[in-house]
Amino acid sequence: MTSTFSTPHGMYFEEFQPGQHIVSPGRTITESDIVTFAGLSGDFNQMHVDAEYSKTAAFGQRVAHGLLGLSVASGLAVQTGVLTGTVIAFREIDEWKFIKPIYIGDTLHVEMDVIETKEMRRIGGGLVTIELNVKKQTDETVMKGNWKCLVALRPV
């Protein structure tokens, strides 16, 4: 018996157009996420891992690491499927701003807007500039900036 499997693929460079708007699914930040990220990164700053200390600190409770939020945003962007199997490389982050804290229990999603494309045939793809807006359940932006990804051309 022969089975056929198809590999899902994302959008090729030619399919990206300025003005496209893509929204990711959501993901809730947990205490476990923060503790795991602290262990992985080595960043055990009390504002992230010490509940008693955090009560008296600037935000009044523990906050997620900014880079944890950025990492989750990356995963959410991938979950949209638009870059599955077509991204060649993640190239650059521009003008990234950490705007509001992310707390345990916040549910994040990413809104992606394609703002520019530039073909680069010599590498077999093109540069896609995407404006990312990371929002929580209240629709408040917690971080934002631009990502530049190299995306494959459609095979001929």
What tens-digit pLDDT sequence spans the chain (156 residues)? 555 555 568 999 999 999 999 999 999 999 999 999 999 999 999 999 999 999 999 999 999 999 999 999 999 999 999 999 999 999 999 999 999 999 999 999 999 999 999 999 899 999 999 999 999 999 999 999 999 999 999 998
DSSP designation for 23: E
88 falls within a domain: yes
- Tell me the C-alpha distance between 112 and 133, whole Å: 6
127 falls within a domain: yes
Q: What's the CATH code of the domain at 69?
A: 3.10.129.10
Instruction: Please count the structural domains in the chain.
Output: 1
Q: Are 12 and 152 in contact (CB under 8 A)?
A: yes
Q: How many other C-beta atoms are found inside a 10 Å radius of the C-beta of residue 63?
A: 23
132 falls within a domain: yes
2 falls within a domain: no
Q: In this predicted structure, what is the pLDDT of residue 7?
A: 58
pTM of the model: 0.90
Domain span at residue 80 reads 13-152
Q: In this predicted structure, what is the pLDDT of residue 156?
A: 82
137 falls within a domain: yes
